[in-house]
Amino acid sequence: MPTMRPRTMIILAAMAAVLLLLAWTTRRAERERETIPSGAIFPGLVRAAVAEIRLSDEGATVVLREEEGQWRVASEGRYPADTLAVSRILDKLPLLDRRHLRSTSPAMQERFEVGDAQGIELAFADSRGGELGRMRVGKSGPDFRSQYVRPAGSNEVFLIPENLRSVVDPRRAQWRDRTIFAFRSDEVARLVFHPEGEEPLVAERDAGGLFKLVAPEEGPVKAQAIDASLRALSNLRCDAFADTSVTLESAGLLPPRQRVEIQLQDGASFGLDIGIEAPEERRVFVKRDRAETIFLLGAGRIATLVRGAEDLRETEPAPEPPAGPADT
Q: What is the pLDDT of residue 4?
A: 59
H runs (alpha helix) in the chain = 6-35, 83-90, 165-168, 223-234, 302-305, 309-312
Residue 317 has pLDDT above 80, yes or no: no
Q: Which has more confidence, 235 or 323?
A: 235
Q: Which has more confidence, 20 or 45?
A: 45
> How far is Cα 159 from Cα 116, in angstroms, rounded to an integer?
17
Q: Tell me whether strands 240-241 and 201-205 are parallel, antiparallel or unpaired.
A: unpaired
Among 15-19, 90-94, 229-233, 316-320, where is mean pLDDT lowest? 316-320
11: confidence class by pLDDT, cuts 50, 70, 90: confident
DSSP state of 214: E
- What are the Cα distances from residue 261, in Å, to 96, 170, 192, 244, 302? 48, 36, 5, 26, 14
> Average per-residue pLDDT in the chain?
89
Q: What is the pLDDT of residue 155?
A: 97
Cis peptide preceding 216, ω within 30 of 0 = yes
Mean pLDDT across the stretch 153-169? Answer: 94
* pLDDT one-digit tens code per residue, 118-143: 999 999 999 999 999 999 999 999 98
Q: What is the pLDDT of residue 2?
A: 55
Residue 46 has pLDDT above 50, yes or no: yes
Give the domains, in start order, of the chain with CATH numbers. 47-168 (2.60.40), 185-312 (2.60.40)
* pLDDT one-digit tens code per residue, 238-288: 999 998 899 999 999 999 999 999 999 999 999 999 999 998 889 999 999
Q: Which has more confidence, 259 or 290?
A: 259
Residue 21 has pLDDT above 70, yes or no: no
Closest by CA position to 293, among listed 226, 250, 242, 227: 242
Q: What is the pLDDT of residue 316?
A: 65
Residue 26 has pLDDT above 50, yes or no: no
Residue 34 has pLDDT above 60, yes or no: no
Q: What is the pLDDT of residue 110?
A: 95
Q: What is the pLDDT of residue 314?
A: 84
Q: Give kind and range of the element (H or E) at residue 125.
A: strand 120-125
Q: With a threshold of 0.85, does the pTM exceed it?
A: no
φ/ψ region of 153 (left if φ > 0, alpha if ψ in -120 to 50, else beta) reads left
Q: Tell me whether strands 201-205 and 283-288 are parallel, antiparallel or unpaired.
A: unpaired
Residue 235 has pLDDT above 50, yes or no: yes
Closest by CA position to 81, among listed 187, 151, 174, 219: 174
Mean pLDDT across the stretch 292-303? Answer: 95
Mean pLDDT across the stretch 179-206? Answer: 96
Residue 72 has pLDDT above 90, yes or no: yes
User: Residue 160, Cβ neighbours under 10 Å: how many?
Assistant: 20
Mean pLDDT across the stretch 282-311? Answer: 95
Q: How buried is 172 (Cβ within 10 angstroms: 0-12 exposed, 13-18 middle, 19+ buried)?
A: middle
Q: Give the CA angle between residues 60, 64, 69 to the nearest 5°.
A: 170
Q: What is the pLDDT of residue 24?
A: 52
36: confidence class by pLDDT, cuts 50, 70, 90: confident
